[in-house]
Amino acid sequence: MEHVNRFIIQCGEAANRDELRVRLFSSSLSGLAFTLFISLPPNSLITWADLEKQFHKYFFFGVHEKKITDLVRLKQRNDESVESFVQRLREVKDKCYSLVLDDR
């Protein structure tokens, strides 16, 4: 919810036009959020309400939310490179919505 509110504030006057909000929203996303956005079927988000519904469904209803215990249990696989493990670790961290963690 915080991301959506920040986005609307940053849009200023453009936030008053539904079609501009929908068009500009993807530029505010990165990582997992952007991956979700580009994986949606073409033309599935016509209105701002459609976009908000999809975004909240995935990120804020807790269906995919991970916990700190998921991070602690994460281990590097024998055949996994360090780069792949770090990427997987970041992906799990990004799903820990109620935690405030940076990459350090």
Q: Which domain holds residue 39?
A: 2-59
**Number of domains forming the structure of the chain:** 2
80 and 100 inside one domain? yes
9 and 43 inside one domain? yes
54 and 93 inside one domain? no
11 and 50 inside one domain? yes
24 and 45 inside one domain? yes
* pLDDT tens-digit series, residues 35-86: 778 877 788 888 888 888 877 777 665 556 778 888 889 999 999 999 999 9
16 and 53 inside one domain? yes
Mean pLDDT of 16-22: 84
Using CA atoms, how far residue 92 sits from 9, 10, 46, 102, in Å, is 28, 28, 30, 13
The pLDDT mean for the chain works out to 80
21 and 53 inside one domain? yes
Count the alpha carbons within 13 Å of 75 in the hemisphere toward its beta carbon: 4
Percent of the chain predicted with pLDDT > 90 = 13
